[in-house]
Amino acid sequence: MLTRLKQVALVLGMALIPLAAQASNGPLTTPAALDDALEAAEAPVVLDIRAPTAYEAGHIPGARNAPYGLFRGPAENPGMLVTEAHLTEVLRNLGLETDTPVVVVHQGSNQTDFGSAARVYWTLKSSGFSDLAVLNGGMNAWTQATGAVETGSAPEVAPSTITVTFSDEWLATRADVQAIVEGREEATLVDARPEAFWKGETKHGAAARPGTIPQSQYFTHDRWFGEDQPSLIKPDLVRQLAVENGFEQGDRLVSFCNTGHWAATNWFALSEIAGIEGVRLYPESVVGWSNAGLEMANVPGLFENLLNKITGKY
């Protein structure tokens, strides 16, 4: 099996090196590297964030199940932060401490699916975890690499004594975003949604109104992935696109989308792979912003208004 896994690592363009040493690729790991790490004396905890039914049908041996919904807000505002008390209970039940090495595993179905792993990674990092990685390609990549799979319910683990204190280092609050919109804080708001959302041509079902947050630019979350393997983030492509699009060290960037899901992918790419310090995620994003009755920008409308001014129509 390991020979086959090494072959897959080469296909993914990532070196077979220890999990914690993959600095050149950021905190992405491959099936091969994870397989090696799981045989080490201090093996990481594999955190499978899929639904229990998917987990029970087949998961990486020893993985613990923590469905994505545990890290999300209510249906009317899914991107809303969960409380520190809630996170403390969840992580205690998983037996995790802040010094526990953790690899987050999602399904790996497509570019959108990666957002779940990125959002959980961001949540854990903000909760004080420092040894973190995402399995690039998720469970699909693992099984395609002939990785071992076991079935059944999650193993029982001894509860930890963790108490979560959530850091605001990578967090942009609603008040922070208001300060940017009003010009009281200098930063670039980056909309991770497809262009139709940014232009106000469509909207999320839970959003009060279509449009985007004023003063934003858009960079869609799916551009970091290779066309040949659309479920895999390509670190070299991330760094290339960051340079080509003017994202650089020293920029103050705030990533948002509809519910902080796609935005988590942009945050992960820019912060963890491109290495731009201080990139922040606005977790509740447009759904929370619009439902709070705050100003929305309808981009086509703005262009029409500008054209009307130029042509003297009003």
Identify the band that residue 308 occupies on the pLDDT scale cut at 50, 70 and 90.
very low
- Contact by Cβ (8 Å): 104, 34: no
Q: Give the model confidence (pLDDT) of 125-148 as tens digits.
A: 999 999 999 999 999 999 999 678
Q: Structural domains in the chain?
A: 2-144 (3.40.250.10), 174-311 (3.40.250.10)
- What would the mean pLDDT of 112-131 be, rounded to a whole number? 97
Residue 215 zone, left/alpha/beta (φ > 0; ψ -120 to 50; rest):
left
Tell me the average pLDDT across 47-56: 98
Query: What is the rounded CA–CA span in Å between residue 172 and residue 23?
Result: 26
**With the CA atoms of 110, 116, 117 and 118 taken in that order, what torsion angle do they form, in degrees rounded to the nearest 10?**
100
- Residue 173: C-alpha distances to residues 45, 180, 214, 281, 285 (Å): 30, 11, 15, 8, 9
Q: What is the pLDDT of residues 222-271, one digit of tens each?
A: 999 988 888 999 999 999 999 999 999 999 999 999 999 999 999 999 99
pLDDT at 298: 77
Q: Which amino acid is at 34?
A: L
Instruction: Tell me the mean pLDDT in the region 166-181.
Output: 97
pLDDT score of 299: 59
CB 51 within 8 A of CB 70: no
Does residue 166 surpass a pLDDT of 70? yes
**Region 192-209 average pLDDT:** 94
The two counts, helices (H) then strands (E), for the chain are 12, 9
Q: pLDDT per residue over 70-105, tens digit each?
A: 999 999 999 999 999 999 999 999 999 999 999 999
Q: Using CA atoms, how far apart are residues 65 and 79, in angstroms rounded to an integer?
A: 21
CA distances from 142 to 33, 36, 59, 265 (A): 11, 13, 9, 20
Q: Residue 144 corresponds to which tokens in the numbers above?
A: 């395609």
Q: Which of 27-36, 42-51, 60-69, 305-314 bottoms out in mean pLDDT, i.e. has the lowest?
A: 305-314
Whole-angstrom distance, CA of residue 302 vs CA of residue 314: 14
